[in-house]
Each structure stands twice: as C-alpha cells, then as structure tokens.
Amino acid sequence: MAVLKKHASFEGVKGPLLTIVMDGVGLSKNDKVSAVASAHTPTLDMLLAKYPNLSIKAHGTAVGLPSDDDMGNSEVGHNALGSGQVFAQGAKLVSESIKSGKIFASETWGALVEGVKSSGGTLHLLGLFSDGNVHSHIDHLKALIEGARDAQVARVRIHILIDGRDVGETSALDYICPFEEYLQTLRSPSFDVAIASGGGRMTITMDRYEANWDMVALGWQTHVLGEGRTFASAEEAVKTYREELHCIDQDLPPFVIAKDGKPLGTIEDGDSVIFFNFRGDRSIEISKAFEGDDRFCAFDRRRVPKVLYAGMLEYDGDLHIPSRFLVNPPEITHTMSEYLVDTGIPQLAISETQKYGHVTYFWNGNKSGKFSEELETYIEIPSDVVPFEQRPWMKCAEITDKLIECLESGKYKYLRVNFPNGDMVGHTGSFLATECSMEALDLQLARILKVVDRLQGAALITADHGNADEMYEVDKKTGEPKCNKDGSFKAKTSHTLNPVPFIIYDNYTADRYTVKESEGYGLSNVAATTVQMLGYEAPAMWDASMIELK
C-alpha cells in the first residue's frame, strides 16, 4: 500500500484542492509573438500579479527528454505532473536502444526481418516524418532503414505522415528533398527502398482518443490499399497540393506514389509493418486497425493483409497495444493517483476528448483504467470534430460547467482539469484564433476561482508545455519574428522551449507556508507540492515540493 503520511502540523486546505492545466500556455519573453500576452486575460493577469507564482521547466531533461533543445509535450508533461518524478522518455529510450544496438538484437526486430525475407515480402515503415522529437524522429527512421539493409531485407517502403505541427508549418520539402537524396545513396540492385504514400498528420492516420476514426480509415485506404490520388513523388504531391489548396503541411490530403500506373507500396500478405512513432496517443488506433480481428468495427478495412505488425514502443501497457514492439517503454511507478487512492482520498479527472487521456492515462504513468473505481471519477466531455481555429473556445465552458458541479458536490478532495485550448488552437498557427482561445479560457478561470473561494479551497494553476506563447517563428539573432515573402509573420505551430507558470491560488491557508524560490523546478515538483497542500508528506522518491510549511 502506497499510503501518504499525514503532516504533523498542517491539516491542509479546508475545501477541495484543484489542479488546472492550461495546456500549451507558456511564458514568453517576447510579447510580439505571444497570443497569451496579447489576449485580454484579466483573470490570468491578476493571478500572476497578486498570487505566489513560479516559472518552471516543462521541456528537455526536466521531463525526461534527451536534451534541453527538445520541446516538451503533453505526454511527458502529464507523466511528470502525475508521477512527481522524471523518467527517461520515448525519444531518449529509442535513441539509446539504437545506439547500443539492442533494437536490432530484439526478438521483435528479428521476427519482422525474417518474416519478409522468408515470404519475399516488403518491410513497411509508417510514421510521423520530421525531427520534431515529440512523436518521432527522422533519425530513428533512417536507423531502421539502414538496419533493414544490413539485415539483407530486399524491399522497404516508407509511408510518411507530414508534420508541420511540431516543426515549421510549411517545412515538408525541407525533409522530403534531402531524404530522397539519402535514399538514393542506399539503393542497390539488392536493396529497393522508396516512399510509397503519405499525407498530413491531421488528415490521415494519427487520430487519438477515438475522436475521429475517419482519419484512420483514410490512412488505411492510403497506406494499405494504395487508393487515392497518385503522384510520381512525394515532392510533386506536396507542391501540387500547396498550389491547389494553399494549406499548411499538417492538413495536406493523402497521396499515393505510383509507378507505371500502379501504387508503389501497398501492404500485402507476408509483409511486416513498423509504426515508428514512439509516443502513444496517436499510435493506438492505427495499431488496433492492423491487429484487430474480425470483431474490429471502427471502420470497414475491406482488405486485411496478414502481416507482422510492431510499434516502436508499446503504446498502451495495460491493454498491450501493440502486441509486438521494438523498445520497452519507461516503467512509471509511485504515481500521485496511486498514493491518493491508497490514502483514501477521492479524486476527479476531467477534460474534453482531445486531452482526456492526458489527465487519466498519462497522468497515471501510462496506465489504462483506474486505481480505484470507488475513489476515482473520470469525466470526458466529447470534443467537436471541427478545425480548432473555427471554434477556438473548444469545450472550455462545458468542462467548467461540469467541473463546478463536481466541486460543489463535496465528493472530491482533489480534482484535476485540463483545458486544451492553448495547445490545440495554438497548433493551427492562427494568432487571432489562439488569442480568442486564451480569452475563452480566462473567462472560465474566473468562474472556477469564485467557486474555489466559496468552498474555502485552493487551486494550483500550471501548464504542461508552451505553445500559444510563441505563435511566430523567431530569428534567434535579432529576436524579431521571421517574415514570409509577402511581409507577414511566419506562423509557428509547434511547442516551445519556454517555461510555464505555476500559480498557487489560496485565500485561506496561504499564511501557513511560503513558496521556495528556485530556478531548478520543473513539472515533476508539482506532485509533492500538491500532497503538501492536502496536508500530507510527499514520498521520498518524488522531486521536492515548491512550498515550505511554517
């Protein structure tokens, strides 16, 4: 039993304690590029001016990523928030496994390679095509291609999901053109390697939380069946779609590469398939499609090839999705939810579909389900299936309606909520829409804090990483926004390297503790702070609390 020890002199907040995650809301030093700074947010401004707050790290080594040049993301951010510790995360695990050679010595790799060699089939590599290092990295893809060549696999086909979200919004050709040159250096009479299909990551394949299975169905038709508009190359596809549709990379329609009128790389019986993303949330549905038996009913697959399928990692450790994987995921233990349950503290987790898994699955250390059906309540508000810039307020009002109802019920001592606005709308690259999303969120903060005060509770307000705080690409030398050819600022759709706020809103027990100043705090320090606010001592393995009791 992971039971928390009651603090000897501090009973904790009288009312409920609420953690508010403003997803994608970082702290920028440059107001010119920040939709957070430019938005009318009187509540957030008041909090930062009048209440104790710290700037904490939400990227790089502070959340288990390889270096401080790596942007944080919602997955690792919520892992750190919920576990109170820093664990080596997907990108680092894969890089270390490649460097050591363990990935190519694994039983899964051996089965995939021997499968296609014995059948005369094709090894297919499918995943996000960039060096964003949030869901995947192009260097991992290259390592798999070279590993296949060294293992004497005769034919490899690559299915690219174009990014424009964790990297520049129109950077696709910056990856495709050098990659084609790279592939040319590998080709030989005994090694046939080529790009076979692709499309924008927000159009095909990479749905999450079953918000839009049509994306996965379209990806299946493109990658597996080879159906769709054909082009001679990925470069031609991107250039054509840009000229016709003027869309950014993440929204590019699907395309199929064809030669002599036939798709270059359909997936057939006897083939092997690797989904080379290391992050789980946008990898689970396509994995279910490949591994699902006759009972699979999310969409009509029409033809289901008999393949060996594997993920880069195991994307769901409880449901064991997929059944084969190349690199073991981090084992995240001693999470806050487990401690709260074993201590008998009832808790609520709530968000809309887009971030529901983050306040449940990722918060609990990549664990599906609950630690206790009796003590935990999870509420998912269904997200709209519309472009986020068209409805930037998303479901923040509906989330708040339900959250207030739960606060006032008196059933929960600890509650956590994620508002996805700053992240999901920030990814669109629309400055105006992201401003609107922040203003919508600010209205909800005002509503929530009134209830927290009425119940004599407290709120911890933070974020999992930055995004809305840097909506334009910045010239590192001048600090000024970069410009397009027409003079407009160049939109940035990726996460940022900025710190995030940590604000303590407490009008009843704030005199019982002080906030400890430090430049070394990160998201993993939030858990210990939380249990101290509840009147308990933090477990020894967690990173230190940011408050000191008087």
Q: Is residue 10 part of a domain?
A: no
Q: Is the pLDDT of residue 93 over 70?
A: yes
CB neighbourhood size of 259 (10 A): 12
Does residue 69 sit in the same domain as residue 143?
no
| Interval 319-325 mean pLDDT | 90
Question: CA distances (Å), 304 to each of 269, 270, 282, 293, in order?
Answer: 8, 12, 21, 9
Does residue 388 sit in the same domain as residue 457?
yes
Does residue 492 sit in the same domain as residue 416?
yes
pLDDT of residue 90: 83
In 232-345, DSSP assigns E strands to 255-259, 262-263, 272-275, 308-313, 325-327
Q: Is 121 strand, coil or helix?
A: coil
Does residue 231 sit in the same domain as residue 365?
no
Does residue 58 sit in the same domain as residue 189?
no
Per-residue pLDDT tens digits for 155-209: 999 999 999 999 999 999 999 999 999 999 999 999 999 999 999 999 999 998 7
Residue numbers annotated as active site: 74
Residue ending a domain, among 298, 327, 356, is: 327
Does residue 281 sit in the same domain as residue 392?
no
pLDDT of residue 278: 93
Which of 405, 491, 388, 493 lies closest to 440, judged by CA? 388
| DSSP string over 168-215 | -TT-HHHHHHHHHHHHHHH-BTTBEEEEEEEEETTTSS---TTS-HHH
Percentage of the chain exceeding pLDDT 70: 100
Does residue 335 sit in the same domain as residue 475?
yes
Does residue 237 sit in the same domain as residue 377?
no
pLDDT of residue 319: 74
Q: Is residue 29 part of a domain?
A: yes
Residue ending a domain, among 307, 327, 347, is: 327
**CATH at residue 224:** 3.40.1450.10
Per-residue pLDDT tens digits for 102-151: 999 999 999 999 999 999 999 999 999 999 998 999 999 999 999 999 99
Q: Is the pLDDT of residue 329 over 80?
A: no
pLDDT of residue 506: 98
Helix axis angle for 42-50 and 431-454, nearest 10°, is: 60
pLDDT of residue 46: 98
Characterize 58-73 residue by residue with b for buried, 16 or more Cβ atoms within 10 angstroms of its Cβ, and e for exposed.
bbbebbbbbeeebbbb
Does residue 373 sit in the same domain as residue 436?
yes
Strands 192-200 and 255-259: antiparallel
Does residue 276 sit in the same domain as residue 342?
no
Name the amino acid, one letter, at 106. Answer: S
Q: Residue 97 has which token pair?
A: 């496994």
Q: Is residue 167 part of a domain?
A: yes
Does residue 322 sit in the same domain as residue 351?
no
Does residue 292 sit in the same domain as residue 382?
no
The distance in angstroms from the start CA to the end CA of the chain is 29
Q: Is residue 434 part of a domain?
A: yes
Q: Is residue 219 part of a domain?
A: yes
pLDDT of residue 4: 96
Q: Is residue 13 part of a domain?
A: no
Under the banding of pLDDT at 50, 70 and 90, the label for residue 317 is low
Characterize 286-303 residue by residue with b for buried, 16 or more Cβ atoms within 10 angstroms of its Cβ, and e for exposed.
bbbbbbeeeeeebbebee
pLDDT of residue 318: 59
Q: Is residue 272 part of a domain?
A: yes
pLDDT of residue 88: 85
Higher pLDDT, 137 or 317: 137
Residue ending a domain, among 272, 303, 327, is: 327
Q: What is the mean pLDDT of the chain?
A: 95
Per-residue pLDDT tens digits for 200-243: 999 999 998 788 999 999 999 999 999 999 999 999 999 999 99
> Which domain covers residue 273, as residue numbers?
91-327
Report how many domains make up the chain: 2
- Find all residues with CB under 8 Å of 207, minimum gap 6, and list them: 213, 215, 216, 282, 285
Per-residue pLDDT tens digits for 330-357: 789 999 999 999 999 999 999 999 999 9
Q: For residues 90 and 281, is the Cβ–Cβ distance under 8 A?
A: no
Q: Is residue 51 part of a domain?
A: yes
**CATH at residue 44:** 3.40.720.10
Q: For residues 394 and 388, is the Cβ–Cβ distance under 8 A?
A: yes
Per-residue pLDDT tens digits for 464-507: 999 999 999 898 888 889 998 888 999 998 899 999 999 999 99
Per-residue pLDDT tens digits for 56-83: 999 999 999 878 888 888 989 999 999 9
Q: For residues 297 and 330, is the Cβ–Cβ distance under 8 A?
A: no
Residues across the chain: 550
| Threshold 0.85, pTM exceeds | no
Is the bond leading into 189 cis (omega within 30 degrees of zero)?
no
Under the banding of pLDDT at 50, 70 and 90, the label for residue 2 is confident
